[in-house]
Amino acid sequence: MLSESYWMHTAPARSFPTLERDLSTDVAIIGGGIAGLCTAWELARAGVQVTVLEADRIAAGVTGYTTAKLTALHSLLYSGLGPADARLHATAQWDAIEHVATTALQLGIDCDFERVPAFTYTETGEHLDAVRKEAEAAAAAGLDAQFVTTTGLPFPVAGAVRVDNQAQFHPRRYLLGLADAIVKAGGTIYENTRMESISKTISGYSVSAGEVVIATNYPIVNRPNLFPRLVPHREFVVAGVIANADDPQGMYITPENNTRSVRTAPYDADHRLLIVTGEHFAPGTAGTRERLDALTTWAQDRFRVKDIAFRWAAQDPQTTDRLPFTGRLSDHLWVATGFGGWGMTNGVMSGKLLAGAITGEPQPWASLYDPQRFHPTREVGRLLKTTAAVAGHYVGDRLHSSPVPAVSELAPGTAAILRHNGTKCAAFRDDDGTVHLVSATCTHMGCVVGFNDVERTWECPCHGSRFGIDGEVLQGPALHPLKQVDQTE
């Protein structure tokens, strides 16, 4: 099983009220992760009346389970963007890092902000050409980037892009500090307030706002055709204590081995916490235990980590052209999503971009992230692949691969998708023998869910909704639980 993340463990939650009346506000921000809170802060400090509506607790969604590198180097990206877009992206990301540094200083937020270099490396040489090209493209885009063959990693690499003066921080300490500042500046935050639509809470209270920002990680509306262009990727994170002397002194990522991403965080006077992320997969696909084991073994073999102190998982959607969708969806409706694993800088960037657009001070890179854009050459291949995959998940072919034909044959601790009384069911028998039976049809748009055997959750591969074994919603875009099924034969 997994634990809570290191960030959740070391930054106790603030408490905000639940919305229990109709509300009217200038700007309503749906979602209190990094994108929502940064947007709220930028608006509140500009004197705008702003209200954050969070389904659960703030800074406890994907943002509470991230790796929290603040870098403009996003694995291998710049070489595929073209010079003008690459320059805009580099400038926007660099601006976000500096903005966190300045804001933390101005507001007196102690968030373990540390300046470190960022590396994208190839160990086997498989990506050597790509790494060289990325170093050139990143440097041409204006980053302090170079191709190197030595790093601080305790194993040799064939080559790496190195970008200096990047940063890492404690995301919850930063954002909980920002939440205090939002309230001090006159903003309002509601927790445990899930929005069913952009103008109504799930408990039936109406929210009327001049502007609405959707910052729910995966958007709750499908305009302009967002869903087919957003693919969720889930990943594992493991963290263990290492001696200060074993700190690799930087942030690292490689696309090899199904991605390995490494950083450290302050732990105590003699130790750092090594944090390793990787083994991404589509939510609801099989093999999660093997993925977590592979990541754990890699961390222990490559670094001198004796015990893994924290294990967690999270997911983030990626767009078909690998740049965020941040901007206007329609009149008075805005979105920030599709960060593709780089939402620390992009969440901050989104806050500045959306607040600027709403207050009439647009950012120079607004058109780059416009959610209405479409680049046929960059996007069509990925779009077709996503559409085909989603179509397959509606069909529910897992029924044919179900390991057992009936609930009575499920062993303790196992799950299956099977037919029961004519209904396609998601069945799980817990360690005590109790059967948990719910409909296998996702309440978002009807795909068939799959079981994550590490987290013991039902997950939807189409848009990433996640449900508990009794069907409760753990993560959207689904708003309603999986339907209960009568267990009698």
Ligand X SMILES: Cc1cc2nc3c(=O)[nH]c(=O)nc-3n(C[C@H](O)[C@H](O)[C@H](O)COP(=O)(O)OP(=O)(O)OC[C@H]3O[C@@H](n4cnc5c(N)ncnc54)[C@H](O)[C@@H]3O)c2cc1C
Q: Which residues bind ligand X (CB under 6 A)?
A: 30-36, 53-56, 61-63, 66-69, 194-195, 215-217, 220, 235, 237, 277, 314-316, 339, 341-345, 347, 476
Nearest to 357 by CA among 323, 389, 333: 333
Nearest approach, Cβ of 120 to ligand FES (angstroms)? 31
Q: What share of the chain is helix, strand, coil (3-state, %, to 5)?
A: 30, 30, 40
- Contacted entry of ligand FES, ligand X, none for residue 54, CB cut-off 5 to 8 Å set by kind: ligand X
Q: Does 219 bind ligand FES (CB under 6 A)?
A: no
CB nearer ligand X, residue 418 or residue 454: 454
Nearer to ligand FES, 183 or 390 (CB): 390
Give the helix/strand (H/E) hosting 438: strand 435-439
> How many whole angstroms separate alpha carbon 297 and alpha carbon 396?
34
What residues contact residue 328 under an 8 Å CB cut-off, 6+ apart?
Answer: 334, 357, 370, 371, 372
CB of 275 to ligand X, least distance (A): 9
Q: Name the E strands within 54-137.
A: 69-70, 114-122
Subset of residues 94 to 153 that bind ligand FES, contact rule: CB under 6 A: none
With beta carbons less than 8 A apart as the criterion, state whether 450 and 458 touch.
yes
DSSP 350-419: HHHHHHHHHHT---TTGGGG-TT---HHHHHHHHHHHHHHHHHHHHTGGGGG-S-SSGGGPPTTEEEEEE
Interacting residues with ligand FES between 430 and 469 (CB under 6 A): 442, 444-447, 460, 462-465
Residues 2 and 312 sit within 8 Å (Cβ to Cβ): yes
Indicate which of ligand FES, ligand X, none lies near residue 100 (CB less than 5 to 8 Å, by partner kind). Answer: none
Closest distance between ligand X and the C-beta of residue 99, in Å? 13
Interaction partner, residue 460 (ligand FES, ligand X, none; CB < 5-8 Å by kind):
ligand FES
Residue number with CB closer to ligand FES (61 or 117): 61
445 binds, among ligand FES, ligand X, none (CB under 5 to 8 A by kind): ligand FES
| CA atoms within 13 Å, Cβ hemisphere of 325 | 34
Q: Are 273 and 259 in contact (CB under 8 A)?
A: no
**Residue 278 binding partner per list ligand X, ligand FES, none, with a CB distance cut-off of 5 to 8 Å that depends on partner kind:** none
Query: Binding of ligand FES at residue 215 (CB under 6 A)?
Result: no
Minimum gap (Å) between residue 15 Cβ and ligand FES: 30
- Site string (468-487) toward ligand FES, x via CB under 6 A: ---------xx---------
Shortest spacing between CB 369 and ligand X, in angstroms? 13
In the complex with ligand X, which residue's Cβ is closer, 316 or 425?
Answer: 316
Q: Cα–chain-centroid distance for residue 385? A: 21
The binder of 371, among ligand X, ligand FES, none, by C-beta within 5 to 8 A per type, is: none
Where do the DSSP E strands lie in 180-324? 188-190, 195-197, 200-201, 207-214, 230-243, 251-254, 260-268, 271-281, 308-319
Q: Report whether 317 contacts 229 (CB < 8 A).
A: no
Q: Give the nearest distance from C-beta 104 to ligand X in angstroms.
A: 16
Q: Is 368:323 a contact under the CB 8 Å cutoff?
A: yes
Token pair listed for 403: 């390991």
Identify what 473 binds: ligand FES, ligand X, none; CB under 5 to 8 Å per kind.
none
Residues 59-98 that bind ligand FES (CB under 6 A): none
Is residue 425 a contact point for ligand FES (CB under 6 A)? Answer: no
Ranked by CB distance to ligand X, the top (closest) residue is: 343
Name the binder of 237 from ligand FES, ligand X, none, CB < 5-8 A by kind: ligand X
Comparison of 172 and 194: residue with beta carbon closer to ligand FES: 194
Taking the complex as a whole, how short is the minimal distance between the CB of residue 314 and ligand X, in angstroms? 4
d(CA 89, CA 141): 8
Quote the strand ranges of 39-173, DSSP E. 50-53, 69-70, 114-122, 145-148, 159-168
Contact set with ligand FES (CB under 6 A): 442, 444-447, 460, 462-465, 477-478
